[in-house]
Amino acid sequence: MDITETLKEQIESNPILLYMKGSPNQPQCGFSARTVQALMSCGQRFAFVDVLSNPDVRAHLPAYANWPTFPQLWVDGELIGGCDIVCDMFDKGELKTLIDEAAAKHGVAE
C-alpha cells in the first residue's frame, strides 16, 4: 500500500484522528500538547498517529491535506485544522459538540 492509500485508510477508518508529534501521554511539542489537552477534555476516545515515528506520514500528509503543519485533527474524514483552530473551537464549545457528534455517529461514544 502506498503512503497516499495509507493516509486515506487511516482517515476513513478513524472517526476522530489526530496526527501529532509524540503521543497523547507524551506529546513532543507544545502545539501537540495543547491540542491533545483540548481533545481529551472533550471526553471521547480518539486515534492518533505519531508523525515523528512515521516519517512517510510526516513527509506526505502536508501535501495530502493541503495543510503544512502538525498537529492535524481529522473528524469524520474532514480536516478540522491545527492547534490554534482546535483550541479556539474548544474555547467556544464547538469542539466538544463536533467530537461528541462524531463519536455518537460511529458508535464510539464513551
Annotated binding site for glutathione: 21, 58, 70, 83-84
Residue set of the binding site: 21, 29, 58, 70, 83-84
Mark the binding-site residues for [2Fe-2S] cluster, compressed into ranges. 29
Percentage helix, strand, coil, to 5, in the chain? 50, 20, 30
Beta bridge partners of 26: 23
Sign of the Cα pseudo-torsion (70, 60, 73, 19, in order): negative
